[in-house]
A and B are shown apart, each in its own frame.
Chain A
Amino acid sequence: MAAAAQPHPLPPVPAEGAAPAAPPAAPPAASRPYELAVAAAELRPVDCNLAALCDHVQAEGFGSGAFSDVVVEAMGATYRLHRLIISRSTYFRNMLHGPWREAGAPTVVLQLDDSNVDSEAIAISLAYLYGQPPKLNDNNAFRVLAAASFLDLQGLCTICTDFIISELWTSNFLQYQLFAESQDYGSHGERVRNACWGYLCQSATLELREVLPKLSSQTLHALLTSDELWVPNEEKRFELALFALLAKVTVSDVEVSGNENLNLMASSPTVDPSMGKGKSLMNEIGEEQLMVSELQKVKLHDNGSKTAQNIIDVPSVIIPQNSISYSIPQNAEASNRMENDTSTGGPSAESTSYQFNENLWHSSEPTKNYFSRTSSSNGLVPSEWGRPTAPLWGGRVVGRRQVRCVSGSSSLSADEYNAFMNIFERGSLLYCNMSFDALLSVRKQLEEFEFPCKAVNDGLWLQMLLCHRVQAIVADTCRNCCLTSNSCACKQAYVNTHSHYRQEHDRTSASGTAGSIYLGDAQGDVRIHNVRGAVDGLAGIGRGNSNVPGAAWAPTRYVFSRVPYGLGSRNGQQSFANDEAEPRVDHNGDIPGDGLTALVNLSQESSASHHQTESIFEAGMQTRYSGAASVSTPGGSSLQMQESKEHEPGSSWESTDNATISLDTRTPLSHFPPFRFGVEFEDVHRLGDGQVKHSPEVFYAGSLWKVSVQAFNDEDPHGRRTLGLFLHRRKAELLDPLRKAHMYIDPREKVTARYQLICPSKREVMIFGSLKQAGTLLPKAPKGWGWRTAILFDELADLLQGGSLRVAAVVQLV
């Protein structure tokens, strides 16, 4: 019988335990060697003694104040305490030991200026000095932390911080965020702040979305700018930022109007809790509704302007399509969404009230000057060509629009305005990684708020340049060894034909007509100069519904001064109103360098319509030179030029803030902004050993990228199970023949890239890899590259949000 066999090995155990005659409650562990057991048994009376002392001190000392030699008064309560015990706190020790007046006083008054501390928190802290473990909950943890921080009880501070971090949820996030952000609780506050930050990065896109408008503008700015923020793609990041902006505007309105009500609430804590709850809930709901309606309004706006744009702005749509052969999975989704919007909602009343105000743009001033100058200047002054081109496409202004003016009389504070200006215009959003459709919609939405949209326009060009650059590198890369021709020992036939081909084209370009500003040259490259404040670059490409006249646009940083070929030879006499989109798409990504056709077309358009735009150009220049002139628009809103001058720098990724940025076809890829995307893996904690999960693929720079996780049990030296994180890359494929035009392909087997995989969580923000390194030659397609012991399975519970692991990836081709 099994039951009979079992007791047999056991006898030594009870015998061992019984020998020291210890209290029966604590039988020693069976595996423990005899000596250890004896030692433990000898210690046990001491433990008992300690426990008894502790009980005595707690009950007699703190409980009934026996033999008290000091009285502490705090927050209306009186504690009869003991100098010896309370001197565990550095605060009390310094007070009772120093040369101070109160050193020998029988009564000590605890004075506090911290509104977070209440009498309960003080009682808990003092009881902690007497050995009582604190009973923490959601309501008192931060109060106890505040009191313990004042009394310099580091141990208690740590207990509170641990509690707060482990109990940090969406419901109390804001409370803790504000607590840690608005006061300085030293390293403990820092821990809470870091936890909040990690949690925010992980969940801002989804779970904590509603909290965003209530964050301080600094936090919001840091969040929306950060690579650590988990957000599926750049479009979603923009949506998030826009949501925050709209909600912030709305919330501040509510605050202004509803201040009284809220203050009433604040000053009467005795109000029946349920009533208070109901009230504030209603308030919340009211905010939501307002916010929603606001959002709807903007959406409707979009629809209206979308249709208008379809009619009028066809050339603008065509041009970049030509060259940006670009598509990512989300792309389709975004456009789908837009279509849906158009079908469901009709244009609102305001948005259709466009005024066609052509006269505004007609000028009696001669334009010959401009022509002669540019055609003879051989690319020295050509930066002027790209001034605001909106008038080209109908020259209309939107009147009587009821748009919130962010910069003007809005309810946003200067601080918040600057934060959003930074987010939208100064390189925080990497527009160049958005699809073209998304960019158009982005710009329309930004124009509603009268942002200059300069960064958006730059994004288009960066996108194009990146495509161009990738293709150039591909052409220059040996197919055998995946190295560029400089370092490759294989044959270089392909490269030779390529350069020859381009030279040919350059010849043709020299014969370009239309007096374009672009002058072909034999080098066949495109150079972009940083133009500071002087000239509007390419702003206005595809601009549909600007409600700001050209003069008010901020200058673009980049201006193409030379374009290699194809000047006008193809569509030379085309007028700006031409809407034949299809014919121009014929030459796309297959031919390296062809991405520049868009420039050519654009230049023709600008030259074809110089008569209309010249006056605006001049006006614009004057305004810009005069500095802080306020330009009032027909729409009734005004825009400070001072503002637009401020955000010129900072486009370059490598923080070449004040230097002239010269992006051309030889610009190294590392000077382009990296690509960010976010992926989510569900149920990773259930992964079996060796099992893999793959994220969906996203398009960037001619390749498809994804992240995978894999479970290992043989990688950790201590035998713990680990989760590996890997980045995969393969050459892009034409998934959808219809969207062929948007895609370009980097056919190399291997590419060099630097990248980061980031797992934000309230525990910590784990960052793998660095964007400062030289770059890794990523392995061939099915393989990934990454960290096999990135995460321990044990710690997964702290890293997951709703059971799924969120990974933010930053990739940069180099």
Chain B
Amino acid sequence: MSARHQFSAAAFRWQETDGNPDVVAGNCKAVTNAVRDIYAQDMTNVIFGDLYRRAYSLVLHKRGEELYSAVEAAMASEVQALVGSLAVAGPSGQSFLRELLATWRRHTAAVSAIRDIVMYMDRTFVPATGRTPVRELGLGLWRDGVVRSGRIRLRLVEAVRLEKARQEEDGVVGVPGSGDLVAGVTEMLTELGADVCHEFMEAPTVSS
């Protein structure tokens, strides 16, 4: 029995454990396509079992590096696209805040879905190589790519200031939803990090 063991182990070594480059590329492509579809909220072609298997197989065969950079790049480009859509969104004030929060929720849902797909990467490859976990990666992209990006930052500060001012004008009974907006923004900023929240919430009060 032991002889057979050794033998099967030897046969096992000849297997191309690195994975066929075509297969690797195909798996990466499938995952990046899924990232795109998830952000687009088009789930017709997104099959969890298939994607999880592909991502798992990549990491299992030590292609975590490829997968990680593919996912990272895909997410970054999707976030960039979101920024573009926000930039053209309503002029300012409430509509902007609503648009921003809706986009934010879309983003977090997408990140969470992506995280589910690449869970094995998050569990093995990420800690082993000291990378940023996918969730933190998503937060970082949103923080640096959206909230802190030049135009949106200014518009956000302005919108929040306007909202607050309006709340004060209207007294306790505010326009339905407006208080939720500020609360939502605060929540988002808190999730991005305590310092980020300070950065935005302190600044307007000081200036005003």
Contacts and interface: CB of A to CB of B under 8 A. Distances in A.
Interface in A165-190: 171-172, 174-175, 178-179, 182-187, 190
Given A98-B113, A186-B124, A280 B3 contact: yes
A150 B113 contact: no
B13 A280 contact: no
Contacts of B119: 90-91, 94, 152
B6 A273 contact: no
A303 B173 CA distance: 103
Given A101-B43, A175-B8, A184 B49 contact: no
Nearest to A100: B48
B206 interface: no
A171 B4 contact: no
A514 interface: no
A207 to B, nearest CB: 13
A252 B199 CA distance: 64
A102 B60 CA distance: 24
B49 to A, nearest CB: 5
Nearest to A214: B10
A277 B1 CA distance: 7
Interface in A111-134: 111-115
A266 interface: yes
B7 A184 contact: no
B50 A111 contact: yes
B46 interface: yes
Contact of A262 (B11, B50, B120): B11
Contacts of A114: 56-57, 60
B64 interface: yes
A108 interface: yes
A175 B9 contact: yes
Q: Is the interface of B mostly helix, strand, loop or mixed?
A: helix
Contacts of A281: 3
Contacts of A138: 5
B3 A152 contact: no
Contact of B6 (A94, A103, A280): A280
A495 to B, nearest CB: 53
Given A99-B43, A101-B46, A108-B49, A172 B2 contact: yes
B47 A185 contact: no
Interface in A305-322: none
Interface string B102-128: 000000010001001001100111001
A580 interface: no
Given A100-B47, A111-B49, A174-B9, A185 B60 contact: yes
B120 to A, nearest CB: 7
B57 to A, nearest CB: 4
Nearest to B64: A184
Nearest to B2: A171
Given A100-B46, A114-B57, A183-B62, A178 B13 contact: yes
B116 A94 contact: yes
B105 to A, nearest CB: 13
A172 B59 CA distance: 25
Contacts of A284: 3, 6
A95 interface: yes
Interface string B52-95: 11101101111010000000000000000000000000000000
Interface residues of A, number: 48
B60 A266 contact: no
Interface string A575-593: 0000000000000000000
B109 A150 contact: no
A91 B48 CA distance: 9
Interface in B11-54: 11-13, 15, 17, 38, 43-44, 46-50, 52-54
A95 B43 CA distance: 13
A262 B9 CA distance: 12
A65 interface: no
Contacts of A183: 17, 60-62
A340 B72 CA distance: 65
Nearest to B50: A111
A734 interface: no
A131 B53 CA distance: 25
A779 interface: no
Contacts of B1: 277
Given A111-B53, A112-B53, A214-B10, A184 B43 contact: no
Contacts of A103: 48
B4 A276 contact: yes
A277 B120 CA distance: 37
Given A152-B123, A185-B60, A102 B47 contact: yes
A265 interface: yes
Contacts of B52: 91, 94-95
Given A174-B9, A184-B60, A95 B125 contact: no
| Of B5, B7, B12, most A-chain CB atoms within 10 Å | B7
A185 B56 CA distance: 10
Given A171-B5, A182-B12, A102 B17 contact: no
A186 B59 CA distance: 9
A422 B2 CA distance: 33
Given A102-B47, A152-B123, A178-B13, A184 B59 contact: yes
A94 B114 CA distance: 11
Contacts of B109: 99
A628 interface: no
Contacts of B59: 184
A281 B46 CA distance: 49
A381 interface: no
Contact of A184 (B12, B46, B62): B62
Nearest to A281: B3
**Looking at A150, A174, A276, A277, which has the most chain B CB atoms within 10 Å of its CB?**
A174
Contacts of B49: 95, 102, 108-111
A99 B115 CA distance: 13
Contacts of A182: 12-13, 15, 17
Nearest to B61: A183
A115 B15 contact: yes
A186 to B, nearest CB: 3
Contact of B47 (A101, A175, A277): A101
Interface in A210-257: 214, 216
A114 B38 CA distance: 26
Contacts of A262: 7, 10-11
Contacts of B43: 99-101
Given A100-B43, A111-B53, A183-B62, A95 B48 contact: yes
B6 A152 contact: no
A152 to B, nearest CB: 7
B4 A113 contact: no
A186 B123 CA distance: 7
A259 to B, nearest CB: 8
Contacts of A273: 4
A273 B2 CA distance: 11
Contacts of A187: 124
Contacts of A178: 9, 12-13
Interface in A49-103: 90-91, 94-95, 98-103
A190 to B, nearest CB: 8
Nearest to B116: A94
B126 to A, nearest CB: 10
30 contacts: A91-B52, A94-B48, A94-B116, A95-B48, A98-B113, A100-B46, A101-B44, A101-B46, A108-B49, A110-B49, A112-B53, A113-B54, A114-B60, A115-B12, A115-B15, A150-B56, A152-B120, A174-B10, A178-B13, A179-B12, A184-B61, A185-B60, A186-B123, A214-B9, A262-B7, A266-B8, A276-B4, A277-B4, A281-B3, A284-B3
What are the 8 A-B residue pairs with the smallest beta carbon separation, nearest first?
A186-B124, A113-B57, A100-B48, A94-B116, A266-B11, A171-B2, A280-B7, A182-B17
Given A94-B48, A98-B116, A183-B60, 14 more contacts: A108-B49, A113-B57, A115-B12, A171-B2, A174-B9, A175-B6, A178-B9, A178-B12, A182-B12, A184-B128, A185-B124, A214-B9, A265-B7, A276-B4
